[in-house]
Structure 1
C-alpha cells in the first residue's frame, strides 16, 4: 500500500472519530506525506507513541547489499556486520505502546532484518567462499550459481544460464547477453554477476521464500492504532 493510499484509509477511518481533548501534537512522515497527530499526554506516553509509529510506518528492512570489492572485502564485511548490529539494537530498544499486535510486529521486523543481514553478509563472504551461500533455499536453480562460483560448472555453461535467466525480459536480450559475455572476461566481474544477478535474484524469487509483505502488515496495525487520534495530512505533489 502506498503512502497516499495509507493516508486515505486513515482519514476515512478518522472521519467519524470524535475530537479528543488532546494537548500535544507530534509530527511524523511516511514517504511523500507528513502527518500531525494530536494526543493527550496524560493518557499516552509520547516516547512509546513515537517509537510505535517508527516501527509501524518508518522502519523498512535495510538493504545492505554492497557489491564485493576484493581490495576491501574484509572492510565491507565489517561494515555490514556493524550496520546489522546497529539496526537490530535499534529495533530492540524501541519502547512500544501496549497494543495487541505491536510486539509481534517488532518480532517480524527483527526476523526480516536478520534475514536481510544474513543474505548480504553471505553474498560478501561468498565472493571468496561460495559455501557461505548455502542454506537460504533448496531451489536447484539457485544452488547452480553456488556450484558455478565454486568452479564446479564450466564458465560457458554458467554464463549461458545466467544470461538466459537475466536477459529474457530485457528490452534488448542480445545486447544484455553480450554485456554479460564481455564482463565474464574479468573474473571479478564474472563472480559479481553470478552473485548479484544469479544467486541473489534466484533466492529472492525462490518458491520457498517468505511471500508476506511485512511493511504492509505493519502499516495495517499502525492504521488501527492511530485511528483513535486526530491527524492532519500534508503530501508533496
Structure 2
C-alpha cells in the first residue's frame, strides 16, 4: 500500500495511528481489518472495541505497515471513501455552507492539514483538484488527524470543473490570492462560499483564478512576504465561518423579534 498505483488498483489504503483508526472505525464498512501490537491493543482498547477484526502483530510487522518514524502500533486497512464531485458540492449546499477546493496541492502534510482545518471550521466538503497529492497517501491521512473520515472529500482531476460545479450549485467562489483585488476583511462572506486554494509554491494559475468570482488577499500588516498554505486556509475559513455564524444569529434574532 506504499505506492499510489497499488492503492488505486485495490481501492484500499492504510490509516496509521489511533486517531486515524478511530476516525475510520466511525465510517460504516470502511475498515477491513485492524492490525495492532499487543501493547497498542491494550493502550487503545477503547478505540479498537468497535473493530470487527483485530489482528495482533509484532513490532517488526508493524514497522512494515507504518511509515511513521515512531509507529503508534495500530493501523487499519481501509476501503477508499472519496465521493463524486457532485456529492461533495451538494453536501455543502446545506448548513454549514463552506466548500474547500484545493488545486495542485502537492505536499501531503499540507493537504492533510487543510482537510483538518476545513473540518474544524465546519466546512461541509473538500475537493482535491488538478494534480493534488493522493488523498490516501499515509502522510495525508496522518496529517488530517482523523478529519479525512469526517467530511465528504472528492477527487477531481479537472480543477476548472470543480470550480464550475461549485458556481453552478450557487456558491460564490473566492480565490485566495496574495495579489487579489479584494481584502479578506472587506469581502462578503456570509453567503454560500467555496474557497479556492492553489499550489504551495506558485499559487493559482491565472486561468483558474479567473474563474472565481473574486480574488481575495489576506492583508499582511508586518514584514512577512506571505502566509503558508495551511495558515492562509485557516484564516480564510474561520473568517467565513464567523461571518456565516453571525448571519445566522442575526436571522434568528430577527425571527424572535417578529414573534413578539
Same fold (TM over 0.5): no
Higher strand fraction: Structure 1 or Structure 2? 2
TM-score, normalised to structure 2, is: 0.23
Point out the structure with max Rg over C-alpha.
Answer: 1
TM-score, normalised to structure 1, is: 0.24
Higher helix fraction: Structure 1 or Structure 2? 1
